[in-house]
Amino acid sequence: MRKLLVALTVVLLFTGQLLAQKTITGTVTDDKGNPIPNVSVVVRGSNTGTVTKSDGSYSLTVPASAKALIFSSVDMATTEVTIGSQTSINASLKSSDRSLQEVVVVGYGTQRRKEATGSVSSVKGSAIAQKPLQSFESGLAGKAAGVQITVPNGVVNNPPVFRIRGTNSISLSSYPLIVIDGVPTYTGDQGATSAPANALASINPNDIESIDIAKDAAASAIYGSRAANGVVFITTKKGKVGKARVNYDGWVGFTKPTGLPKILDAQQYVDYKNAALNNLKALVPATTGSFIIPTDADGKPINTNWYDEVYRNAFSHSHNMNVSGGTEGTTYYFSAGYTNQEGILQKNDFTRTNVMLNVDSRVNKILTIGGKLSYSNEKNNIGGSSGSLPGEGFASAGAARLAFALPPNVSPFNNNGTYNYASATSIGSQGSIVNNANPYTFNNVRMLLDLNRSNNEVNHLQSNAYVQLRPFSWMTLRTAYGIDNMLIDNDIFFNPYHGDGPGTGTGPGGAATASYSKDKTWLWTNTIQLDYTFFDNHNFSLLAGNEQQRRTTVGFGINRRTLSDSAYDVVQAGFTTANPAGTSLGENYLLSSFGRLNYDFKKKYFLSGNVRQDEYSALGVKKGVFWGASAGWEITKEAFWGSIGLDKIFSSFKLRGSYGKVGNVAGIGNFATFSTYGSGLYNGIATLGFNVVGNDKITWETSKKTDVGFSVGVLNDRITADFAWYKNNIDNLLLNVPQAPSAGVPGNFVFQNVGTMFNRGVEVSINATPVVKKNFSWSSSFNFAYNKNKVTALANGLTEIVTATSSLETVNKTVVGKSIGFLWVIPTGGVDPATGKRIFYNAAGQPIYYQFGSPLPPGQFTYMTANGARYEKTNADGSKSPLSINQADDGRLYRNTQPKYIGGWDNTIRFKDFDVNFLFTYQFGFSIYYGSYAGLRDQRFWNNSTDVLGYWKKPGDITDMPKPIYGDNVSNGSAMPMDVAVFKGDFVKLRTVQIGYSLPKSLVSKAKITSARVYVSGQNLGIISDYPGPDPEVSANGNTATSAGVDRNTLANGRTITIGLNIGF
């Protein structure tokens, strides 16, 4: 700070020199003649300047030597006017909608894109507004190079997988830092129920002005220890001076599920399962029973389509109203929104009510104050569980799984109208019996959907206030205080009869959980910004600041079990046992100082440096310095460029490069440095035991980022393009390093900074306006990104990180030399045409034939070699014991789950009063483990895909469906994952289409409205992919970095059609 003061004093001395002067006045207007306030008017090559008033007028005293005035404003193209002898200069600014002329948010300030040397992608708020999304980031897919968005399923308000330039951490968060109006906010599912509560859903997408995505070290280093995954800056809408504008936007939408697997009907099911059962009877004569089709109350055969019980055609609607305007330096933007969106899963709803107010007031030439108040209430409801959230993949109550696995020959209801269930875990078999028992050990999903709930309600308050002083045109002092408070109520109820609720006791069972969590952030930021030009051409911009961020979390709740009265369904009612639930208490504090220096010479050579020192309470080594440096060269400004004629082709050509070091602390526990003793009970008496090993040496993960690229404009910037090559070397990865269990440390691991990984890639984005005519225009934007991810080191004693899906099935392994979360499955060799057996390959590559059944007839073995002998090993004492195929010994690292190529193609066409927008997104070069595929071929009582009907029937049959034997869960891949369930995930998706019609001005003005537009849009309309599952955009494990690319019992995505209306007054 002292150094800053010295610099400041020097600057002040410079400005003390006064010269001969004259005064120039004028008005600045836009191309329609409307006055523009707040335009910066500066004498070229000096720091003398002012800003325009609300009527667009200005008055500026300039030195006699002044040659030209430069007029500049956000969203406007900068204009330069020669002064000459004039004393009155009016200027007209054109609005700039070309990307290179935009302003980009760079953290604690903005920068003109032309002058930015960091790698920043920008998306306008309008691009994601008016869509049936719950949160803005779901709409970013395909919109920016290197930004990967995967919307994993059709559960409403589920956070998408969000990656910038690949996955940049193994065990910490890989989610970018999201900064909303200067305040870093919460991300991810913050609820504690089966209905996800994406923290970012509190931002109404319609209130967003712009989204700027900082990708390299130069652009993100100002956020230091939190920048490794990139930084996303959200700027909400502000008012503009002028008459109040009122806008209404509303839509109604209809969503239906797409891509559901085709499954057997009751007749097919009964025929197929009986065939499988007969095959088992032939092997194991003791087997008895059969599957039947019972009749319903009307005497008709039961044929239940469980899809109808689980899915629905959903209806959604949304209404947004905003008022903006301003007078005499005070501007305001107020909005209110309500949206109710039904999921395609029955009982799954998202409701948001939100208001936001942005006010900025210029008190006088020097002082500006303002602030934001944003409140959002969200209700996330679900009946039971979708089975699609991380950890739910194998939930026996998972609705998506039950929809295709429940047998079609049973009904959700008995013929007397009561629910059909046999026990807590089994639906009634209604007559089908195997081995004297009900074979149907799945839940009746209808009952769970009707009687259970797993809801949460979020109250989210995001607010800030600032005071800004501009004592000189080149100096800005600002202090801002912000809060971000998330208060969540969780409400879970399990019915006492069926599913997860019934207890083992004799009472009615039932369970209810209520918990409350309170996450609070306050943030105080102080900055000083100096913009100064020396000797006409040396432009300096210096930022210095400090910031404190405090986060606290408090959670408490109760879990009550065994209802006193089976009619109760709320936690406040009578229950016989109670346990604490959802207790948490945490705090952290981040103390930072930072600075940035931008320099350019004649807007030709650019240099920029960012530095930030962070001290973070949760770390052992608390203090770190992060930085990024970059340089740019606008070649078109060089004389030789014109001399060789390149200026006729390129309107701009800027080379840039950056390097820097940033960190990642997201996901480190607040008290991970402490070794602690925890409280417990010994028959109800308090105990205290050593239960956590801390590591007081832990520190941030480090990302060293290099970025080299260039930006070009061709044909007067009608085509612009950005190219970037980047490398991100990550080291000090924080991993739970396993310790030998005999050391006995709690958890058998110690959290340590070990391990390295890199992401390298190339990005291209091209924006073009191929056609601009009065009545017809077409603008197009295409982006492409290639990324290569590789883990280069783990830890001593940690050669692989094996990550299970819902702790039951393991198909992901992270090993050195491969990309993170590689698929790990057992190789197979199809179905033996002679016997109909599944062929597995063991680690030695030998074919091993699997035979289900126990006890097997003489001469038959569970695992047989090609010559019909038992697959066995010889023990040390010479005896033999049978061997089996198993994943630990025979599994193979098979394919990558990280997409290599991602991108999108966005087009907008205007024809007279019509506009059409369509967006394609694509991802290539990755594979998916389609776990549901195994379930859909399971030979237990589970319903199957119609694919099974081509099963092996007689010797010589060539098929991929083994001879069905009732109970076989190995040949299909349920017991251990097989390579045949791995598919290429490559896809091209027609993600959105919108067709709008703006009512003619002549018509709307009669109705006393400014503008009116109606539109029809579609989401998720078409897909080109060889992937056989519902949707190749999957993530059964949410944002978990090490277990991507798994589709296990996941709810399908929906296809949505909306009809909307937008009216401006």
Partner 1 sequence: MSLGLVLLTSCHRELLDPAPQTSVSDATAFDQPYRIANQVLSLYSSFKNGNFYGGRYIVYGDIRGEDFLLEDGNLVTNADVWNLNPTNTANAIVGLWNQVYSLINNCNVFIDGMNEKGTLVVGTTIGNTYIAEARLLRAIGYYSLLQYYARPYADGNGAKLGLPLRLIGIKGAGASDLARSSVAEVYTQILADLDFAETNLPLTNGSNYNNTTRAHRNTAIAFKTRVYLSMQNYPKVIAEANKIVPAAGPFTATSGVPHVLQADYTSVFKTPYTSLESIFSVPFSSSNGDIPGTQNALQGYYYAAATGVGSIFSLNFAGIIGNTGWTATDKRRSFIYTNPPGTKKFLTKYPAASPADFSPVIRWAEVLLNLAEAKARTTAGVDAQALALVNAVRQRSDATTTLAPATNGDLIDAIMTERRIEFLGEGLRNNDLMRLLQTIPSKSTAGAKAPGDDGYTWPASSTEKSLNKLWVDN
d(CA 899, CA 789): 9
Binding track over 92-111 against partner 1, x by CB under 8 A: --------------------
The residues in 545-564 that bind partner 1, with binding defined as CB under 8 A, are 546, 548, 550
Backbone dihedral angles phi then psi of residue 56, each to the nearest 5 degrees: 85, 0
23 binds partner 1 (CB under 8 A): no
Q: 646 by DSSP, 3-state: which? A: helix
855 binds partner 1 (CB under 8 A): yes
Q: Which stretch binds partner 1 (CB under 8 A): 103-111, 877-885, 893-901, 985-993?
A: 877-885
Contact status, residue 399 vs residue 1051, Cβ threshold 8 Å? yes
Closest to partner 1 by CB, 525 vs 944, is 525
Closest to partner 1 by CB, 793 vs 909, is 793
* Nearest approach, Cβ of residue 857 and partner 1 (Å): 15
DSSP state of 826: B
**How far from 991 is each of 9, 124, 139, 1019, CA to CA, in Å?**
56, 17, 10, 5
* Nearest approach, Cβ of residue 509 and partner 1 (Å): 12
* Nearest approach, Cβ of residue 357 and partner 1 (Å): 26
**The two three-digit tokens of residue 376, written as one number:** 């959002």
- Cis peptide bond prior to 855, omega within 30° of 0: yes
13 binds partner 1 (CB under 8 A): no
Closest to partner 1 by CB, 774 vs 873, is 873
**The two three-digit tokens of residue 931, written as one number:** 């776990």
| First-to-final CA distance of the chain | 49
Q: Which stretch binds partner 1 (CB under 8 A): 53-61, 321-329, 876-884, 1029-1037?
A: 876-884
Taking every pair of Cα atoms in the chain, the longest distance, rounded to a whole number of angstroms, is 112
* Nearest approach, Cβ of residue 180 and partner 1 (Å): 22
DSSP state of 245: E
* Nearest approach, Cβ of residue 542 and partner 1 (Å): 14
881 binds partner 1 (CB under 8 A): yes
Contact status, residue 1059 vs residue 251, Cβ threshold 8 Å? yes
Q: 102 by DSSP, 3-state: which? A: coil
* Nearest approach, Cβ of residue 591 and partner 1 (Å): 5
Contact status, residue 425 vs residue 446, Cβ threshold 8 Å? no
Closest to partner 1 by CB, 407 vs 545, is 545
Closest to partner 1 by CB, 615 vs 960, is 615
Q: Which residue shows structure tokens 């006995």? A: 744
960 CB burial (10 A radius; 0-12, 13-18, 19+): middle
Q: 73 by DSSP, 3-state: which? A: coil
d(CA 598, CA 673): 38
Q: 67 by DSSP, 3-state: which? A: coil
Closest to partner 1 by CB, 617 vs 865, is 617
Chosen residue from 64, 858, 877, 958 binding partner 1 by CB under 8 A: 877
Q: Which stretch binds partner 1 (CB under 8 A): 244-252, 542-550, 654-662, 936-944?
A: 542-550
Q: What is the DSSP string of 972-1019?
A: TSSSS-BGGGEEE--EEEEEEEEEEEEPPHHHHHHTT-SEEEEEEEEE
857 binds partner 1 (CB under 8 A): no
d(CA 475, CA 543): 10
What count of Cα atoms within 13 Å lies in the side-chain half-sphere of residue 555?
A: 19
The residues in 480-539 that bind partner 1, with binding defined as CB under 8 A, are 504-505, 524, 526, 528
Q: 620 by DSSP, 3-state: which? A: coil
d(CA 549, CA 226): 12
d(CA 887, CA 847): 15
The residues in 568-627 that bind partner 1, with binding defined as CB under 8 A, are 577, 579-580, 583, 585, 587-589, 591, 615-617, 622
The residues in 768-807 that bind partner 1, with binding defined as CB under 8 A, are 797
1 binds partner 1 (CB under 8 A): yes
Closest to partner 1 by CB, 754 vs 909, is 754
The residues in 672-731 that bind partner 1, with binding defined as CB under 8 A, are 674-693, 695
Closest to partner 1 by CB, 436 vs 643, is 436
d(CA 705, CA 217): 6
Chosen residue from 18, 20, 869, 888 binding partner 1 by CB under 8 A: 888
Q: Which stretch binds partner 1 (CB under 8 A): 25-33, 208-216, 735-743, 1020-1028?
A: 735-743
Closest to partner 1 by CB, 74 vs 367, is 367
d(CA 1014, CA 69): 43
- How many residues bind to partner 1 according to rule CB under 8 A? 71
d(CA 466, CA 458): 26
* Nearest approach, Cβ of residue 797 and partner 1 (Å): 5
Closest to partner 1 by CB, 450 vs 615, is 615
d(CA 94, CA 78): 8
**The two three-digit tokens of residue 79, written as one number:** 């204009």
* Nearest approach, Cβ of residue 790 and partner 1 (Å): 23
d(CA 601, CA 816): 46
10 binds partner 1 (CB under 8 A): no
742 binds partner 1 (CB under 8 A): yes
The residues in 406-425 that bind partner 1, with binding defined as CB under 8 A, are none
Closest to partner 1 by CB, 548 vs 792, is 548
752 binds partner 1 (CB under 8 A): yes
* Nearest approach, Cβ of residue 698 and partner 1 (Å): 11
20 binds partner 1 (CB under 8 A): no
Closest to partner 1 by CB, 574 vs 950, is 574
The residues in 635-674 that bind partner 1, with binding defined as CB under 8 A, are 670-671, 674
* Nearest approach, Cβ of residue 370 and partner 1 (Å): 18
738 binds partner 1 (CB under 8 A): yes
838's enclosing H/E stretch is strand 838-841
* Nearest approach, Cβ of residue 869 and partner 1 (Å): 20
* Nearest approach, Cβ of residue 977 and partner 1 (Å): 16
Measure CA 757 to chain center.
22
